[in-house]
């Protein structure tokens, strides 16, 4: 009987993990992570033709998911805001804000923040000055490889959501204005 309980428990864990993995995209994820390549080995979906399009950023998991309704249609490795201690609650949280936002008009090929001395390519805004963009660059447009190697592994940005170069170019060039963006821990 104990053996049967163990077998059933293992099966439930496996089935549960499959249900919780968005659309089984784990099998399409590029490994090892390469900030110079797309996150998945399959073609990008056409976002202009995607019904009920929305984007979910999971800060703790360093992933950004593109959905059509309840179905995940593409998964990207991402790295968002660095972690810092909240002075009020004394909990550690990302400097990237959580909540529900929308993609708005600001987008382009390169953006630079002189205060941070950081730039990025292929950006699209989702909350004021918060953007989806490539891994960061220096003022001379060179990717900062030490930061790029954190993609999909740990937080690295001052608040924006960093993506691989091809993923950022695709998203900035194809996501429609008004697309819902949900950022969660």
CB atoms < 10 A from the CB of 142, how many?
Answer: 9
Q: Clarify whether 104 is annotated catalytic.
A: no
Q: Which residues contact 71 (CB under 8 A, 6 or more apart)?
A: 23
Element (H, E) at 124: strand 118-127
Quick one: pLDDT at residue 24?
Answer: 52
Pairing between β-strand 180-184 and β-strand 53-58 as defined by DSSP bridges: parallel
Quick one: pLDDT at residue 26?
Answer: 67
Catalytic entry in 72, 104, 160, 162: 160
Catalytic entry in 72, 133, 141, 162: 133
Quick one: pLDDT at residue 8?
Answer: 39
Cα gap 135→80, rounded to integer Å = 10
Quick one: pLDDT at residue 88?
Answer: 85
pTM: 0.85
Q: Is the dihedral of CA 55, 121, 79, 40 positive or negative?
A: positive
Average pLDDT value for residue range 147-175: 97
> For residues 64 and 164, is the Cβ–Cβ distance under 8 A?
no
Residues 91-149: pLDDT tens digits? Answer: 888 999 999 999 998 999 999 999 999 999 999 999 988 999 999 999 999 999 999 99
CB atoms < 10 A from the CB of 57, how many?
Answer: 24
Q: Clarify whether 28 is annotated catalytic.
A: no
């Amino acid at each position: 009987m104990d053996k049967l309980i163990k077998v059933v428990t293992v099966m439930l864990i496996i089935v549960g993990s499959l249900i919780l993995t968005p659309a089984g995209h784990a099998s399409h994820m590029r490994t090892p992570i390469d900030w110079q390549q797309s996150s998945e080995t399959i073609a990008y979906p056409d976002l202009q033709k995607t019904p009920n399009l929305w984007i979910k950023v999971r800060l703790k998991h360093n992933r950004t998911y593109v959905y059509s309704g309840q179905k995940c249609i593409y998964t990207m490795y991402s790295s968002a805001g660095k972690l810092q201690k909240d002075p009020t609650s004394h909990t550690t949280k990302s400097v990237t804000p959580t909540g529900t936002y929308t993609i708005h008009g600001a987008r382009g090929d390169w953006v630079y923040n002189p205060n941070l001395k950081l730039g990025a390519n292929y950006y699209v805004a989702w909350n004021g000055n918060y953007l989806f963009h490539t891994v960061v660059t220096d003022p001379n447009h060179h990717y900062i490889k030490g930061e790029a190697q954190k993609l999909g592994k740990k937080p690295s940005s001052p608040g924006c959501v960093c993506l691989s170069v091809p993923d950022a170019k695709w998203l900035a060039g194809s996501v429609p204005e008004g697309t819902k963006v949900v950022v969660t821990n």
